[in-house]
Amino acid sequence: MHHARLFWKLYITYLLAVVLCAGVVGWLAVGSASALYRQQAVNDLKARAELVRNQVVPLLDRPVALQALIKTLGATADTRLTLIAGPDSVVGVDGQVLADSEADPAAMPNHNTPTRPEVQTALNGGLGQVARYSDTLKMRMLYVAIPVLNGDRQVTAVVRTALPLTQVDSKLHAMTRRIVLGTLIVALAVALLGLVVSRSISGRMRDIKRGAERFAGGDFAHEIHVSTADEIGDVAVGLNAMGRQLSETIQTITEERNEREAVLAGMTEGVLAVDGQERVITINAAAARLLGVEPRQAQGRSIQEVVRNPELQMFVAAVLAGEEPVEGDVVVHSEHEPRDLRVHGAQLKEGGGAGDGRGAVIVLNDITRMRHYESIRRDFVANVSHEIKTPVTTIKGFAETLLDGALDDRHDAERFSRIIVGQADRLSAIIEDLLSLSSLESGSEGATVSLERGSIRDVLQVALEVCEMKAAARHITLTLSCADDLYAEINPPLLEQAVVNLVDNAVKYSPEGSSVDVSAAVEAAGLAIKVKDAGRGIGREHLTRLFERFYRVDRARSRDMGGTGLGLSIVKHIAVAHGGWVAVESTLGLGSTFSITLPV
């Protein structure tokens, strides 16, 4: 059964006090009773010795009669009696045993020795008493010795009485057991009474504790039962009153907090409120997400501790220092990428918290995606305008030349017409690649690309067949290395288009008479499709931007070879649509290796 700590404190303290008192009282009682009983035994032995002394005085000069009397008296009194000669004895030397009820006097040694202090004390005229081991009877004895005086008050003999200590000890033990038993019974009764009292007090305190816990848990309708009018009852009454007051106060605060949190949580903008000392008062989930902080950990801490951003710190200081609303842009560096934030700040009057009673409210809007899209749009418009403007300008120029009279010269007319057709084809290729890229980008952002389990070798074989004629025209050998049983979840047409783009680029930029190697195999990272050429290679500074739209290492040569600048970007988006990625390795003068890695 589980008991509260208060119960144990009360009861154990009470029990220790009872045990201590019972122990002390029992010890004193046993000690006093033992001393009293021993003294009573000594007095009894002394009385017996005095009786014997009165009877032996007339017989001191008759040893035989003395021995007979001593034996008779010893048997009658159930006590060992010994008569010892004194300094003025008329029949023996000092310390000689004259008679003994338990042994032969002639065989007993002289008793005036330090080992028998009771005899020496009596020989000196005093009352001797001692408990010691008897060499004659081989047991512990209690001895009492008194002197026998003559008319001149001289010691003529010593009468000694003795009892075995076993008799004394057995009676003492019996008495001690009764005292201890009585003490234990009383202590047990008092302990049981203390148990009842302690349980009563601890039970009432547990009721108060449970009531306080229910108050802490928000159950302010709970009432603590008051059974007595003492101090504990007063505590219960006070807690009940406090619970009612807290219920009303917390209900009001909760309603206000819920309204405020509902408004803040429903906002997509981040809201940050600080007091006049730049300590955070409120921060909603959107602001915490933008700034990369924990809302609970930020409460009450200074803005310098919460956000390690000098721009935002300066902005908050500017809002607190000024009177008018402030607006600006702040860049926050998160774990993944920098975020561009548009921040609006205004002072918070009379309610900022500590300090001078003023604070500030900062509203944060994430404009990172908007800035990114604006940059993409600007780059895209510039690149598309540049790429389309070139063939349109060429077509327009040669068409005007034809209209100005070149039609009359058949040779020039045919040459100009072929140029116009070529530029129109180039313009058509740019438009087709743009449409393909737009379709792939829309698929990566929303729609899903349908994948099926297909043979990688079949896709690579078809791609090589598409590029075979162009390769043969430049005497370039196409080789394929791929296992027949290599399968993956793919979209065959899209993957074929990506491989065709890579092989077509390899054929364009490889010297005549070289080879382009296409391979596919499962590696640690996934299924890797690689296209390796023997071209002049690509500088390291270009590798990170190769897959951007319209990016060219050599713009003039790319246009001469009919490239649109979108092929590698299409390859990247096809790989992403398959859940994979693209990579390139290149060394100047040794060629390049483009790879598409797909998940296995």
Q: Look at residue 81 in the predicted model and tell me its pLDDT.
A: 87
Are residue 348 and residue 252 in the same domain, yes or no?
Answer: no
* List of residues 6+ apart from 138 with CB closer than 8 A: none
CA dihedral 461, 466, 469, 475 (to 10 degrees): -50
Same-domain pairing of 21 and 137: yes
Query: Are residues 85 and 211 both part of a single domain?
Result: yes
Strand residues in 399-526 grouped as ranges (E): 452-455, 477-482, 487-490, 515-522
What does the alpha-carbon distance between residue 281 and residue 348 come to, in Å, rounded to a whole number? 11
Per-residue pLDDT of the chain (600 residues; tens, 9 = 90+): 444 466 676 667 777 777 787 778 777 877 777 777 777 888 888 888 888 888 888 887 787 888 888 888 888 878 888 888 888 777 778 888 888 888 888 888 888 888 888 888 888 888 888 888 777 777 788 888 989 888 778 888 888 888 887 766 677 777 777 777 877 887 787 778 777 777 777 677 777 777 777 777 767 667 776 666 667 777 777 777 777 787 778 778 878 877 777 777 667 678 888 888 888 888 887 888 777 788 777 788 888 888 888 888 888 888 888 778 888 888 887 666 777 888 888 887 754 444 444 788 888 888 777 877 676 667 666 656 655 666 677 777 778 777 777 777 777 777 778 777 766 766 676 666 566 656 655 554 444 567 889 999 998 998 888 888 888 888 999 999 999 989 999 888 878 888 888 898 889 888 898 999 999 998 888 899 999 998 888 877 777 777 776 666 654 444 444 455 677 877 888 888 888 889 989 888 888 999 999 987
Residue 372: half-sphere exposure toward Cβ, Cα within 13 Å: 9
- Estimate to the nearest angstrom the gap between the alpha carbon of 197 and the chain centroid: 41
Q: Can you give the CATH number for the domain in which 398 is found? A: 1.10.287.130
Do 490 and 506 belong to one domain? yes
Contact 82, 52 (CB under 8 A): no
Q: Going by C-beta distance under 8 Å and a sequence separation of 6 or more, which residues neighbour residue 162?
A: 45, 79, 80, 81, 82, 134, 141, 142, 143, 144
Q: What is the dihedral of CA 344, 348, 349, 351, to 10 degrees?
A: 170
The CA-CA-CA angle for residues 214, 220, 222, to 5°, reads 70
For residues 24 and 127, membership in a common domain is answered with yes
User: How far is 550 from 538, CA to CA, in rounded Å?
Assistant: 16
Q: How far apart are CA 510 and CA 515, in angstroms?
A: 8
The answer to whether residues 23 and 154 belong to one domain is yes
Whether residues 30 and 143 share a domain: the answer is: yes
Residue from 561, 547, 556 nearest 592 by CA: 547
Per-residue model confidence (pLDDT) at position 6: 64
| Pairing verdict, β 477-482 and 515-522 | parallel
**Residue 494 shares a structural domain with residue 359:** no
Pairing assessment for the beta strands 527-532 and 515-522 based on DSSP bridges = antiparallel
pLDDT in the model for residue 1: 42
Which of 445, 478, 498 corresponds to the end of one domain?
445
Strand ranges of the sheet holding 591-598, from the earlier edge strand across to the other edge: 477-482, 515-522, 527-532, 591-598, 581-587
Alpha helices per DSSP H over 446-519 = 456-473, 492-509
CA distance 157 to 105: 14
b/e burial code for range 529-539 (CB count within 10 A of at least 16 → b) = bbbbbbbbbbe
Structure tokens at 559: 């246009």
Q: Are 388 and 332 members of one domain? A: no
222 inside domain: no
3-state secondary structure of 335: coil
Domain total in the chain: 5
| β partners of residue 585 | 593
User: 276: which 2 tokens?
Assistant: 């006049």
- Residue 473: is it exposed, middle or buried by C-beta count within 10 angstroms (0-12/13-18/19+)? exposed
212 domain residue, yes or no: yes
Query: Which of 334, 365, 396 lies at the terminal end of a domain, its last residue?
Result: 365
Residue pair 341/360 in contact by the 8 Å Cβ criterion: no
Domain that holds residue 256: 227-265
CATH number of the domain encompassing residue 311: 3.30.450.20
Taking the C-alpha atoms of residue 146 and residue 82, their distance in angstroms, rounded to an integer, is: 11
Domain boundary at 445, 473, 503, which? 445
In angstroms, the CA 55 to CA 60 distance is 10
- Can you give the CATH number for the domain in which 475 is found? 3.30.565.10
SS3 call for 516:
strand
590: its two tokens:
């040794």
Q: Say yes or no: 87 and 39 in one domain.
A: yes
Do 49 and 166 lie in a common domain?
yes
User: Token pair of 189, please?
Assistant: 């009764």
What is d(CA 372, CA 370) in angstroms, rounded to the nearest whole number?
A: 5
In a domain, 361, yes or no: yes
Residue 237 parent element (H or E): helix 231-265
Q: Cα angle at 271 between 268 and 277, to 5 degrees?
A: 170
- Residue 527, pLDDT score: 92
In a domain, 80, yes or no: yes
487 and 421 part of one domain: no
User: Is 489 inside a domain boundary?
Assistant: yes
